[in-house]
């Protein structure tokens, strides 16, 4: 009988590992401010959900925001209902997604591989800078990555268990549950990608009939539809254009079209995965040990991980638009493959010192990256602080000129949507993926609300010449193209943006911004 290594004997209990993962990933989630635009956007939508009390419709500045489903916002809003608008609560959905994915990897490998492989794979994953930073970033990528990991591993565990006549139904029900969570986290990829991985794996291991039976398991579909179906059905009934926008445009057209963010070549994710997983990635370049032998008992797991890695990388390499976070679901299988290479022909006990050094170095890289981002990546809106004793009073409005600063509603703790001034007719014709396009698209679902939120910048007098104050936020050069700002009080300024307080007009004088010709000229200059 093979003697258990010290790593096998010291394998932690799942609950303690779960708590350790959560503490490690949450420990620095409060250190740096929210980054623009992503973190400000998604944190702001979650806060707006809490403020409005509408937990069904995600809203960007009060307008329906259907780029993504609501699970991230539900978790963030629930956290902020307890803590208020703080950074770690806005990032909690990403932390939970990372913990779920890492815990699922550990539990799966502890059952279907060796305990020391399970433990090292989890340590590698949790201390990869790419994974750690993804868990520290308030957007939807890590949450859906965690859902995808849980779905793949639970489904694979169910297939292996059923084949060995072990209990499998709870595992498969869990896979369908996490597929539903993936749908609610980021849409169809939460279901399509795990299904692709499992189907290709089952085909490669001659289990395709079993895969089809599991895919057609009616109780699982009942779970999926009961969890994910109500929100999608409710949105379609409330907004008839929802299906066309959310499914056709945000999924299929976005996947096939150009004009979105960060167009890159097919090769893009290879250096991303290699560079952002150092120093662990370096172990893949180390030759196998002399005593490496075939691991027939683990061949199914090996194939699952290789297929999982390849499906994710190839799938996201096809579109021209590539963002770094898209490939986060590839990290759990990559962590396993690194762990397997580490132990190839080597004793776990003999590697203890080197593995501890690598884990410590990788953890230091993680923390250093967070510290560097805290120092050097502070968005302008976060740095724009109102003077002590000044705040937006109830009944006062905030108007943003020429740009929407996603992070300001969060840091100013605003309870009402802001007014946004721009050339919205031109924005409606713009096909580029930017903040104007987001607002223009959101405005199509509720025209009435849009008319009192998105304001033409050449016709601001009816909104400003009222008997209440309006806070103006815009570029710190906005006074050069908006002469009426000379009548406002400058209250805060930094190297990029500024804030003014415009007192309004006690008599609702329609000319409080100056003469009609002056106001029109200001708008015309701003349109150039």
Reduce the secondary structure of 12-53 to three states and give it as a string: CCHHHHHHHHHHHHHCCCCCCCCCCCHHHHHHHHHHHHHHHC
Q: How much is the pLDDT for 350? A: 76
Q: How much is the pLDDT for 206? A: 92
For 56-60, 323-327, 515-519, which range has the lowest pLDDT when averaged over its residues?
Answer: 515-519
For 89-103, 286-300, 318-332, 379-393, which range has the lowest pLDDT when averaged over its residues?
Answer: 286-300
pLDDT at 518 over 50: no
Q: How much is the pLDDT for 521? A: 37
Q: How much is the pLDDT for 498? A: 94
Q: How much is the pLDDT for 2? A: 41
Return all residues near 441 (Cβ < 8 A) that are at least 6 apart: 245
Q: How much is the pLDDT for 388? A: 86
Tell me the CA distances in angstroms from 468 to 271, 290, 400, 505, one per residue in order.
54, 79, 17, 7
Q: How much is the pLDDT for 171? A: 97
pLDDT at 527 over 50: no
Mean pLDDT of 497-520: 77
Do β-strands 454-456 and 419-422 pair in parallel, antiparallel, or remain unpaired?
parallel
Q: Angle at Cα 410 formed by Cα 404 and Cα 413, nearest 5°?
A: 115
CA–CA distance, 422 with 501 (Å, rounded to integer): 19
- Split at pLDDT 50, 70, 90, the class of 245 is confident
Q: How much is the pLDDT for 228? A: 96
- What are 285-321's pLDDT values in tens digits? 877 766 555 444 458 999 999 999 999 999 999 888 8
Tokens read off for 279: 């120093």
Mean pLDDT of 182-197: 96
Q: How much is the pLDDT for 386? A: 87
Task: Pick from 34-38, 75-79, 293-297, 414-418 the range whose average pLDDT is largest.
Answer: 75-79
- Split at pLDDT 50, 70, 90, the class of 254 is low
CA–CA distance, 171 with 181 (Å, rounded to integer): 15
Owner of token pair 């590539």:
322
pLDDT, the chain, mean = 88
pTM, entire model? 0.91
pLDDT at 249 over 80: no
Percentage, residues of the chain above pLDDT 90: 64
Do β-strands 397-401 and 470-475 pair in parallel, antiparallel, or remain unpaired?
parallel
For 23-32, 201-210, 515-524, which range has the lowest pLDDT when averaged over its residues?
Answer: 515-524
For 274-283, 378-387, 510-519, which range has the lowest pLDDT when averaged over its residues?
Answer: 510-519
CA–CA distance, 145 with 212 (Å, rounded to integer): 24
Query: What are the φ/ψ torsions at residue 401 (nearest 5 degrees)?
Result: -100, 130
Q: How much is the pLDDT for 256? A: 59
Mean pLDDT of 170-177: 97
CA–CA distance, 156 with 115 (Å, rounded to integer): 18
pLDDT at 510 over 90: no
Percentage, residues of the chain above pLDDT 70: 91
Q: How much is the pLDDT for 314? A: 96
Tokens read off for 442: 């959101």
For 203-207, 232-236, 288-292, 446-450, which range has the lowest pLDDT when averaged over its residues?
Answer: 288-292
Tell me the CA distances in angstroms from 502 to 262, 397, 442, 453, 527, one per residue in order.
38, 10, 28, 18, 22
- Split at pLDDT 50, 70, 90, the class of 218 is very high
Mean pLDDT of 349-364: 90
Q: How much is the pLDDT for 255? A: 61
pLDDT at 7 over 70: no
- Split at pLDDT 50, 70, 90, the class of 420 is very high
Cis peptide before 37 (omega within 30 of 0): yes
Q: How much is the pLDDT for 338? A: 95
Run of H or E including 118:
helix 115-127
186: left (phi over 0), alpha (psi -120 to 50) or beta: alpha
Q: How much is the pLDDT for 337? A: 95
Question: Where in the chain are the domains?
Answer: 66-376, 381-527
pLDDT at 520 over 50: no
pLDDT at 439 over 60: yes
The helix/strand count (H/E) of the chain reads as 26, 8
Q: How much is the pLDDT for 348? A: 75
pLDDT at 110 over 50: yes
């Amino acid at each position: 009988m093979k003697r258990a290594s010290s790593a096998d004997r010291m394998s932690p209990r799942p609950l303690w590992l779960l708590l350790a993962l959560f503490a490690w990933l949450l420990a620095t989630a409060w250190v740096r401010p929210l980054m623009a635009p992503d973190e400000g956007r998604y944190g702001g939508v979650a806060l707006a959900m809490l403020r409005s009390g509408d937990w069904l419709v995600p809203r960007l500045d009060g307008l329906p925001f259907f780029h993504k489903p609501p699970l991230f916002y539900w978790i963030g809003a629930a956290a902020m209902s307890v803590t208020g608008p703080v950074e770690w609560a806005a990032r909690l959905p990403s932390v939970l997604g990372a913990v779920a994915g890492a815990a699922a990897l550990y539990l799966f490998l502890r059952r279907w591989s060796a305990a020391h492989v399970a433990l090292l794979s989890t340590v590698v994953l949790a201390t990869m800078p790419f994974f750690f930073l993804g868990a520290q970033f308030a957007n939807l990528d890590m949450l859906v990555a965690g859902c995808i990991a849980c779905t793949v591993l639970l489904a694979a565990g169910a297939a292996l268990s059923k084949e060995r006549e072990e209990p499998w139904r709870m595992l498969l029900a869990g896979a369908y549950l996490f597929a539903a969570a993936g749908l609610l986290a980021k849409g169809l990829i939460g279901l399509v990608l795990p299904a692709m991985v499992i189907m290709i794996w089952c085909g490669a291991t001659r289990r395709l009939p079993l895969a089809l039976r599991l895919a057609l398991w009616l109780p699982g579909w009942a779970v999926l539809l009961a969890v994910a179906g109500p929100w999608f059905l409710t949105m379609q009934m409330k907004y008839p254009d929802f299906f066309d926008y959310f499914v056709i445009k945000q999924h299929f057209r976005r996947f096939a079209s150009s004009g979105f963010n960060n167009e890159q070549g097919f090769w893009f994710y290879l250096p991303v995965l290699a560079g952002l997983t150092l120093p662990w990635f370096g172990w893949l370049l180390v030759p196998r040990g002399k005593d490496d032998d075939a691991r027939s008992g683990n061949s199914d797991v090996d194939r699952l991980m290789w297929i999982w890695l390849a499906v994710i990388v190839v799938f996201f390499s096809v579109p021209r638009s590539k963002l770094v976070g898209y490939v986060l679901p590839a990290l759990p299988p990559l962590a396993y493959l690194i762990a397997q290479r580490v132990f190839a022909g080597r004793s776990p006990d003999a590697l203890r010192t080197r593995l501890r050094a690598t884990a410590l170095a990788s953890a230091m890289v993680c923390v250093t990256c967070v510290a560097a981002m805290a120092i050097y990546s502070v968005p302008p809106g976060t740095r724009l602080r109102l003077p002590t004793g000044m705040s937006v009073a109830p009944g006062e409005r905030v108007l943003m000129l020429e740009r929407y600063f996603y992070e300001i509603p969060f840091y100013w703790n605003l309870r009402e949507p802001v007014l946004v001034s721009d050339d919205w007719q031109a924005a409606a014709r713009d096909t580029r993926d930017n903040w104007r396009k987001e607002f223009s698209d959101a405005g199509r679902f509720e025209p009435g609300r849009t008319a009192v939120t998105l304001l033409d910048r050449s016709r601001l007098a009816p909104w400003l010449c009222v008997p209440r104050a309006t806070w103006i936020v815009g570029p710190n050069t906005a006074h050069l193209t908006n002469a009426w700002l000379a009548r406002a009080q400058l209250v805060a300024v930094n190297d990029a943006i500024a804030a003014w307080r415009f007192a309004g007009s006690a008599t609702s004088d329609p000319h409080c911004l100056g003469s009609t010709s002056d106001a029109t000229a200001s708008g015309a200059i701003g349109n150039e």
